[in-house]
């Protein structure tokens, strides 16, 4: 269960509009040294560094933002999910604006970017976090829980009052299922009836049929879908990106129902507060494979 630290092998970049700000930004991945972690670097603001950690979280309205000293970087979750799934532990994310490019609304462009960059092993290991007892966070009928496990398993369900969505659920097991084919392509989605309200409060300024699955009252306006259950898969993608703010991989079985960024963030906070939270040790692996006494 011990993981080798990794960075990217070559500088790569991508550019595009921010989903909520509508601002066009450029993003580059630069190799980083072991122990540097994942950091955003605002190249337009004297290279201010913002660690991709829970302590840096500044906003959770329809997306996750991190920031420092009144400077923020928005909609980080799709990018962070790709980094976590790729095993990248240390990288500088050079960005010249306030929001990560949304590209097509999924994590797939970032996975392709990491693949093009290649990876390079660094000195040192990273132990995943394991919770030793269940943790539950609720808000009305929304909930998210985690229980002990020696791998990361996610069970997610959603329930929308829309004829195309209704109830959807999906299960994903890290190390067993394929993130690139099963989760990364799932795009963010929005409802036409909410567009005016969102834009009135400064959100969704860059949203379009090119970077978001758009639904009217009957169905999808810009189909086809990539999966029949693309909506719940994207919620899982968001969760994985929010879990990256732990700063280390996580082992545990998560069950989420109608959760979102706010509940994801509260779960991450609770995990970090648990005094029993501990890294998986090699003896745990040996114990799992030891023969059972007769």
For the annotated catalytic residues, the residue numbers are: 261
The encoded tokens of residue 11 equal 């500088």
Phi/psi of residue 266, nearest 5 degrees: -65, -35
Query: Cβ(226)–Cβ(187) under 8 Å?
Result: yes
Beta carbons within 8 Å of 177's beta carbon, 6+ residues apart = none
Helices assigned H by DSSP within the chain? 77-86, 108-117, 179-182, 195-200, 230-243, 261-273, 282-289
Interior angle at CA 179, CA 122 and CA 237, nearest 5: 100
Which residues lie across from 137 on neighbouring strands? 144
CA dist., res. 203 & res. 190, Å (int) = 12
With b for 16 or more beta-carbon neighbours within 10 A and e for fewer, the 229-257 pattern comes to: bbbbbbbbbbbbbbbbbbbbbbbbbbbbb
Supply the DSSP symbol for 144.
E
Beta carbons within 8 Å of 228's beta carbon, 6+ residues apart = none
DSSP-assigned letters across all residues of 63-109: S-EEEETTEEEB--HHHHHHHHHHT---EEEEESSSB-B-TTSSSHH
Query: Cβ(162)–Cβ(215) under 8 Å?
Result: yes
């Amino acid at each position: 269960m011990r993981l080798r630290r990794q960075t990217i092998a070559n500088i790569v970049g991508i550019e595009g509009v921010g989903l909520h700000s509508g601002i066009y930004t450029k993003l580059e991945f630069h190799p980083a040294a072991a122990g540097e972690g994942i950091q955003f670097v605002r190249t337009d603001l004297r290279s201010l560094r913002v660690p991709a950690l829970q302590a840096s979280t500044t906003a959770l309205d329809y997306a996750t933002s991190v920031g420092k000293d009144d400077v923020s970087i928005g909609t980080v979750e799709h990018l962070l999910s790709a980094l976590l799934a790729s095993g990248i532990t240390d990288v500088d994310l050079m960005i010249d604006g306030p929001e990560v490019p949304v590209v097509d609304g999924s994590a797939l462009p970032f996975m392709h970017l990491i693949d093009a960059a290649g990876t390079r092993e660094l000195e040192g290991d990273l132990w995943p976090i394991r919770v030793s007892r269940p943790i539950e966070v609720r808000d009305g009928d929304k909930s998210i829980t985690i229980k002990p496990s020696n791998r990361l398993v996610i069970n997610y369900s959603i329930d929308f009052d829309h004829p195309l969505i209704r109830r959807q659920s999906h299960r994903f097991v890290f190390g067993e299922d394929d993130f690139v084919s099963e989760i990364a392509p799932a795009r963010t989605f929005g409802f036409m009836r909410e567009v005016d309200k969102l834009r009135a409060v400064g959100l969704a300024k860059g949203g379009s049929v090119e970077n978001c699955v758009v639904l009217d009252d009957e169905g999808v306006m810009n189909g086809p879908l990539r999966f029949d259950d693309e909506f719940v898969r994207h919620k899982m993608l968001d969760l994985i990106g929010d879990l990256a703010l732990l700063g280390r991989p996580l082992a545990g079985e998560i069950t989420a129902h109608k959760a979102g960024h706010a509940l994801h963030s509260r779960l991450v906070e609770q995990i970090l507060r648990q005094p029993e939270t501990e890294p998986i040790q090699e003896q745990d692996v040996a114990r799992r494979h030891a023969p059972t006494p007769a």
